[in-house]
């Protein structure tokens, strides 16, 4: 979906609901940070929207939703959702990105920051989400360190956390991906490579090890006072980006 098409959906959403601001939850929220991003990474036809001022009006967007005349005519549509649709890191609302101006008749889009979006996709863990996060990592849109830090602020159980760490490790290991692709070409096999590839348990263990290492480094760095900063100020740095003090009300 192109930025102009997203603008069209917002314009229609504003006319239907009378709302002037919508939170964009799904992959189309990348347009907030990267309005000229190639279509192949934002190929989905739906725009996940929440009416900011009055979330109850979000349901009105079914008029331009899936299988509606709007969808049939233009090939894309609005998907009315709510905050329970995606599991996001604490403080995500304070990191929302304004969609760049466009032909929206004054309707504003508030987009997820790319790392918050990536975490939501990692939690969902569907095949299309794995493809999406692999693209984000491969294009340098997200960093491994930031994802690990935000995962620590996401309400998921330990099993899901371990699975996400393994997925992040895979996405940021281009050597393994290249090795598997080379083996497929040489052997003519279409399935995933099994030769000398680490097991799921090994990948999870490595992901956990990397996560603990990053956490330890962040803690040591934050607790080491610099020449111009008191010890207490350094300790307070640990509270940054945990959502404390951030108004989470839309």
Q: Is 62 inside a domain boundary?
A: yes
pTM above 0.75, yes or no: no
The predicted pLDDT at position 146 comes to 97
Q: Are residues 79 and 44 in the same domain?
A: yes
Q: Same domain for 73 and 85?
A: yes
- Provide the number of structural domains found in the chain: 2
Is position 247 within any domain?
Answer: no
Mean pLDDT of 212-221: 62
Q: Which two tokens stand for residue 4?
A: 């102009």
Q: Which of 79, 112, 145 is the last residue of a domain?
A: 112
Please check whether residue 250 lies inside any domain of the structure: no
52 and 89 share one domain: yes
CB–CB of 117/29 below 8 Å?
A: yes
CA dist 84 and 123 (Å) reads 13
Domain that holds residue 93: 3-112
* Same domain membership, residue 221 and residue 180: yes
What are the tens digits of pLDDT across the range 89-114?
999 999 999 999 999 999 999 999 99
Which residues lie closer than 8 Å to 200 by C-beta, 6 or more apart? Answer: 166
Instruction: Give percent of the chain above pLDDT 90.
Output: 64
Of 92, 112, 132, the residue at which a domain comes to its end is 112
What is the model's pLDDT at position 42?
78
Tell me, yes or no, whether 11 and 95 share the same domain.
Answer: yes
Among residues 78, 112, 146, which one ends one of the domains? Answer: 112
Q: What is the pLDDT of residue 96?
A: 98
Q: For residue 145, give every residue at least 6 positions away whose Cβ sits within 8 Å of its Cβ, in sequence order, or none.
A: 214
Over 70: is that where the pLDDT of 180 sits?
no
Query: Distances from the Cα of 157 to the Cαs of 88, 123, 124, 129, 133, in angstroms?
Result: 13, 10, 13, 19, 20
How many Å apart are CA 224 and CA 132, to the nearest integer? 38
Q: 124 and 55, same structural domain?
A: no
Instruction: Please answer whether residues 117 and 32 qualify as being in contact, where contact means their C-beta atoms are separated by less than 8 angstroms.
Output: no
Q: Are 9 and 85 in a shared domain?
A: yes
Rounded Cα–Cα distance for residues 139 and 33 (Å): 14
Asked if residue 156 and residue 52 are part of one domain, the reply reads no
Q: Is the pLDDT of residue 186 over 90?
A: no
Strands 46-51 and 21-24: antiparallel
Q: Has residue 230 got a pLDDT over 60? A: no
- Please check whether residue 111 is in contact with residue 47, taking contact to mean a CB–CB distance below 8 angstroms: no
pLDDT mean across residues, the chain: 81
């Amino acid at each position: 979906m192109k930025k102009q098409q997203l603008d069209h959906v917002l314009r229609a959403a504003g006319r239907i609901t009378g709302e002037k601001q919508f939170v964009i939850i799904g992959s189309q929220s990348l347009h907030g940070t990267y309005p000229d991003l190639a279509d192949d990474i934002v190929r989905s036809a739906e725009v996940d929207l929440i009416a900011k001022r009055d979330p109850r009006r979000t349901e009105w967007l079914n008029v331009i939703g899936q299988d509606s005349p709007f969808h049939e005519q233009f090939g894309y549509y609005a998907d009315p959702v709510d905050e329970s649709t995606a599991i996001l890191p604490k403080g995500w609302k304070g990191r929302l990105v304004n969609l760049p101006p466009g032909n929206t008749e004054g309707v504003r889009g508030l987009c997820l920051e790319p790392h918050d979006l990536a975490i939501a996709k990692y939690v969902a863990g569907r095949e299309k989400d794995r493809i999406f996060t692999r693209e984000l990592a491969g294009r340098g849109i997200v960093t491994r360190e930031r994802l690990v830090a935000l995962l620590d602020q996401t309400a998921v159980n330990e099993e899901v956390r371990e699975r996400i760490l393994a997925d992040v490790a895979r996405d940021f290991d281009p050597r393994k991906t290249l090795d598997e692709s080379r083996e497929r070409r040489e052997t003519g096999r279409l399935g995933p490579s099994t030769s000398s590839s680490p097991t799921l348990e090994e990948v999870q263990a490595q992901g956990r090890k990397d996560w603990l290492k990053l956490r330890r480094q962040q803690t040591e760095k934050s607790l080491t006072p610099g020449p111009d900063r008191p010890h207490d100020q350094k300790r307070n740095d640990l509270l940054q980006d945990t959502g404390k003090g951030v108004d989470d009300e839309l």
